[in-house]
């Protein structure tokens, strides 16, 4: 606490006297030792599949801080005894770690190593040598299932083994430092943080840090691109046109629908006294976190509107731009892109009351999406629209979902909306959940019939076909039959043996029929 408060108090006092004041020597030095890492964690902005390190040249991927640079840093901050924070890549993967440990062992200064802990046992001698004022800050993302889903199979057991090793050596007086754990809060753990605290308290770690993901939304990343290009053209010109700036890799985040659960879990964690220090990074107030997440939502209701009836649609869209504080350049780009996708560029300045229902729905979508939300609620978005407008809206929503990675929650009575857009389907009857799963499995699970379509090379009388199933339609050269699933093999053999067939197809019944059967079963049950 003293190490934190003294610099804050001193710097704060001197900045009140001189706003340009900066400490002549830093109180803390952060050193990124290397780019290399021995894991490929899914939330890592450096090395996950979209991580910016993948864009580095091979020699840059292997780049490391040279020992003379570290020696110079230590020499110039020795009088201050500036704290040292080591990260990477992975610090223990640093090829000169043993040499670095020798240097730090001679320094009377506090050091933190942020590590995935996989190499702790391998580097133990060096760690013990420098452990007097050392904190080993070990990253772990939850219990075994949750952690290994992010950090890789088997990592949980290896990390727990390493933590326990340090704790045992700490009790023996051989390891003289602290053992802390850092967890990046993730969807799978938001309702298990209390249980995790109990787990680490029982282990005997010194501190637990709950870290919020370093998340940069795509619209913010684009603002940063614009700012960078405008203010640092001498740097921007060094990169190829297809270069992706590093801030586009900070995509890991907590899902908005998990946030209320997270707040309640934090309340539960904070409701008791622990034998372990708990820290939140950053230490935001709950309302700050909640308000920021509200920006990620948007709602469109087919039978209600947010557009001002007597004004041009562009005025209502601009109002949303101001409400969500969308930067001018991003607003212009988004408006142009969305209006082009929906083919309404020429209608933006038309009074809303003069637009057709389909045109108004397109404007509603633009207004709802102008701030690039991550979660879009749609309630009957195609209700009352003609077929071409319905098709255009569906195509747009599918494109938007794929292009921007937005989650779309759709409620609709139009099965065409559901079939074209939804991978996951939830069926509810009078408040009860009947089904939650893949749309295309509904027929397999609940449908009782199949459709058989036959085409003949010569005329066939309809009465000869009725014994094989219900005749939906027929003429001399074709028939459409509906038959029970269990008769499919038997009927297939029979018609192939009995008729001159030139084309033969088997199809599912319309999906609404299977859903209707599900409702009927529920009603009878």
Domain ranges of the chain: 2-215+256-288, 217-249, 295-416, 448-508
**Residues 140, 145, 146, 151, CA torsion sign:** positive
The DSSP result for 265-319, as a single string, is: HHHHHTTS--SSEEEEES---HHHHHHHHHTTEEEEETT---S-TTSBHHHHHHH
Cβ-in-10-Å burial (0-12, 13-18, 19+) of 195 comes to middle
The DSSP result for 181-221, as a single string, is: EEEE--GGGTT-HHHHHHHHHHHT-SEEEEE------HHHH
According to the model, what pLDDT value does residue 525 have?
Answer: 46
Q: Tell me if residue 516 falls in helix, strand or coil.
A: helix
According to the model, what pLDDT value does residue 341 have?
Answer: 84
Q: Tell me if residue 469 falls in helix, strand or coil.
A: coil
Scanning 34-123, the segments in alpha helix (DSSP H) are: 58-61, 67-76, 97-105
Structure token pair of residue 252 = 């890991």
Where the chain has pLDDT below 50, the residues are 1, 523-525
In CATH terms, the fold of domain 448-508 is Alpha-Beta Plaits (3.30.70)
According to the model, what pLDDT value does residue 524 have?
Answer: 43
According to the model, what pLDDT value does residue 424 have?
Answer: 80
Model pTM score: 0.57
* Candidates 3.40.50.300, 1.10.3720.10, 1.10.420.10, 3.40.30.10; CATH matching 295-416: 3.40.50.300
According to the model, what pLDDT value does residue 386 have?
Answer: 78
According to the model, what pLDDT value does residue 212 have?
Answer: 92
How many separate helices (H) and strands (E) can be counted in the chain?
Answer: 20, 16
Q: Please answer whether residues 158 and 117 qualify as being in contact, where contact means their C-beta atoms are separated by less than 8 angstroms.
A: yes
Q: Domain 2-215+256-288 belongs to what architecture?
A: Alpha-Beta Barrel (3.20)
Q: Please answer whether residues 53 and 35 qualify as being in contact, where contact means their C-beta atoms are separated by less than 8 angstroms.
A: yes
């Amino acid at each position: 606490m003293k190490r934190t408060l003294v610099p804050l108090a001193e710097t704060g006092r001197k900045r009140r006297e001189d706003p340009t004041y900066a400490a002549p020597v830093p109180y803390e030095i952060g050193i990124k030792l290397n780019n290399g890492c021995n894991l490929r964690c899914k939330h890592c902005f450096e090395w996950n599949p979209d991580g910016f390190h993948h864009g580095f040249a091979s020699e840059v991927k292997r780049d490391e801080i040279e020992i003379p640079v570290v020696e110079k840093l230590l020499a110039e901050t020795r009088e201050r005894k500036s704290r040292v924070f080591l990260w990477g890549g992975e610090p223990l993967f640093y090829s000169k770690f043993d040499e670095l440990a020798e240097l730090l062992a001679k320094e009377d200064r506090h050091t933190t190593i942020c590590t995935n802990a996989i190499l702790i046992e391998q580097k133990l001698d060096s760690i013990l040598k420098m452990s007097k004022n050392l904190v080993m800050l070990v990253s772990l993302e939850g219990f075994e299932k949750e952690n290994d889903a992010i950090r890789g199979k088997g990592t949980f057991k290896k990390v727990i083994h390493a933590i326990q090793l340090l704790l045992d050596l700490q009790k023996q007086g051989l390891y003289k430092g602290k053992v802390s754990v850092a967890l990046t809060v993730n969807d799978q753990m938001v309702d298990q943080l209390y249980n995790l605290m109990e787990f680490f308290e029982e282990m005997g770690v010194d501190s637990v840090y709950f870290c919020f993901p370093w998340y940069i939304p795509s619209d913010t990343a684009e603002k940063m691109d614009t700012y960078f290009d405008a203010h640092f053209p001498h740097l921007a010109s060094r990169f190829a046109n297809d270069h992706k700036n590093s801030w586009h890799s900070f995509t890991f985040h907590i899902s908005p629908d998990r946030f209320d659960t997270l707040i309640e879990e934090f309340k539960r964690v904070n409701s008791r006294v622990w034998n372990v220090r708990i820290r939140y990074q950053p230490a935001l107030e709950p309302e700050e976190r909640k308000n920021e997440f509200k920006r990620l939502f948007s709602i469109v209701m087919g039978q209600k509107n947010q557009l001002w009836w007597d004004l041009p649609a562009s005025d209502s869209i601009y109002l949303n731009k101001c409400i969500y504080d969308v930067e001018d350049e991003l607003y212009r780009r988004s408006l142009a892109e969305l209006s082009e996708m929906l083919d309404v560029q020429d209608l933006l300045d038309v009074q809303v009351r003069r637009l057709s229902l389909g045109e108004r729905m397109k404007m509603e979508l633009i207004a709802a999406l102008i701030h690039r939300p991550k979660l879009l609620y749609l309630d009957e978005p195609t209700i009352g629209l003609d077929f071409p407008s319905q098709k255009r809206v569906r195509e747009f929503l599918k494109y938007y979902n794929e292009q921007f990675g937005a989650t779309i929650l759709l409620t609709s009575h139009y099965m065409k909306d559901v079939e074209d857009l939804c991978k996951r389907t939830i069926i509810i009857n009078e408040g009860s959940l009947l089904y939650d799963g893949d749309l295309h499995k509904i027929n397999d699970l609940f449908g009782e019939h199949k459709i058989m379509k036959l085409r003949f090379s010569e005329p066939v009388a309809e009465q000869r076909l009725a014994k094989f199933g219900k005749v939906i339609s027929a003429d001399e050269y074709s028939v459409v039959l509906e038959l029970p699933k269990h008769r499919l093999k038997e009927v297939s053999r029979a018609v192939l043996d009995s008729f001159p067939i030139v084309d033969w197809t088997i199809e599912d019944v319309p999906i609404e029929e299977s859903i209707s059967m599900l409702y009927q079963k529920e009603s009878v049950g």
